[in-house]
Amino acid sequence: MPALSQLSPEALSELRAGLRQEYEALKGQGLKLDMTRGKPAPEQLDLATEMLALPGNRDTTADDGTDARNYGNLQGLTETRALFAPVLGAPPEQIVVANNSSLALMHDVLVYALLKGVPGGDKPWSKQEPIAILCPVPGYDRHFALCEGYGIRMIPVPMTGAGPDMDVVEKAVADPAVKGIWCVPQYSNPSGETYSDETVRRLAAMKAAAPDFRILWDNAYAVHHLSDERPSLANVIEACAEAGNPDRPIVFASTSKVTIAGAGLAMLASSAANIRWYLAQAGRRSIGPDKLNQLRHVRFLKDAAGIAAHMEKHRALIGPKFDAVETAFAARLEGYEVARWSRPLGGYFITLDVADGTATKVVALAAEAGIALTPAGATHPYGKDPDDRTLRIAPTFPKLEAVRKAAEAVALCTLLAAVEAKLDA
């Protein structure tokens, strides 16, 4: 395929006519496909069906002898914290295991920071100058929604393929109003990239003007591999401690995409001081988490090898869906030089960068043909992608055949939008 830029106006018009015809035929199929959110498919949830019968009527005593049915143990059961210690990269005493949704923990940490301040700071964040948080882009829309909802200014930072551009980050944190950075360090949502050791080292060691600066380390895809090639992610808690900034990172993770998305466990790991701080705030909010679910997870997953074995079953189900998107994109788009897409080694997303200025149009064309995509701009703070370029493709939920159809349709819309933009230029 020749690059689009090499085509004569006549060749472009001819290409457009062919694509328009295909597009009209696509619309005629009356498709109804949804590629918007990174949800596990029902078959993935079925993998944990056996867990629902656990821990069983007579199995409610935790390792420390307490009754898991009763109130208490805000930090979570020792055995559950031990189970997830290797995932979080912290000792069990520096871990909190809570109810489902790590997003809820992120929310609470932000709100506690705003209302009460964090260790190292002398005032609540809300009582300081208007504060800001660095947002690597493309990024996770719900992080942005949290900041926007609580009036925290967002500063976009470009991703490089090895994490955020650290030159930009290091400059930005010289401003004491900058209180933190969102990070999805492994198989990032949506680019799929994993932070390099150098990125982690610089994040840990950089001089932040705010003494209460926090790295919000959302390691949502810590065990979600799609390949045998597994990038290793440096331990941010150790790196920060070694650099003399032990209270800087707060690590989040969950079993939402390991066991059951709506009934998993969320967890947080950090320095001893941050854990004390968190528990002091959370103690007003609740007497303790659902420890039966914690026992259920321990009985089902057992240990790190059990988690890894379970994740292989997920990979077997969703790997072919990622492959189908890659195949469809390559078949339609390769050579034209109008789009780039990620080939993630793990996680839940593919990033599709379309021709500048056409992402909104691609989403509209797809919608008209019955394919719902995440809105253009969702990967950027305030929903504004200045280049109107980046789309997030979420292939896990629909059936394989539907993913294939949707990806072919998105590729067609991508090329059509690029050709029409070129003809209009």
The residues of the shown chain that bind ligand PMP, judged by CB under 6 A, are 38, 101-103, 140, 184, 189, 218, 220, 254, 256, 266
Cβ-contact 247, 210 below 8 angstroms: no
Cβ-contact 410, 373 below 8 angstroms: yes
**Angle (CA) 285 287 293, round 5°:** 105
CB of 259 to ligand PMP, least distance (A): 11
Nearer to ligand PMP, 102 or 245 (CB): 102
Rounded Cα–Cα distance for residues 360 and 336 (Å): 20
What residues contact residue 134 under an 8 Å CB cut-off, 6+ apart?
154, 155, 157, 164, 169, 172, 173, 178, 180, 181, 182
Rounded Cα–Cα distance for residues 108 and 47 (Å): 30
CB of 268 to ligand PMP, least distance (A): 11
Nearer to ligand PMP, 140 or 213 (CB): 140
Distance of CA 316 to the CA centre of its chain: 20
CB of 255 to ligand PMP, least distance (A): 8
What's the first-to-final CA gap in the chain, in angstroms? Answer: 21
Nearer to ligand PMP, 218 or 353 (CB): 218
Nearer to ligand PMP, 92 or 138 (CB): 138
CB of 17 to ligand PMP, least distance (A): 40
Tell me the torsion sign for CA atoms 319, 190, 95, 198.
positive
Nearer to ligand PMP, 140 or 144 (CB): 140
Can the peptide bond before residue 40 be classed as cis, meaning omega within 30 degrees of 0?
no
Cβ-contact 357, 420 below 8 angstroms: no
CB of 355 to ligand PMP, least distance (A): 26
Using DSSP's 3-state secondary structure scheme, residue 372 falls into: strand
Nearer to ligand PMP, 218 or 247 (CB): 218
CB of 106 to ligand PMP, least distance (A): 7
Nearer to ligand PMP, 201 or 392 (CB): 392
CB of 76 to ligand PMP, least distance (A): 15
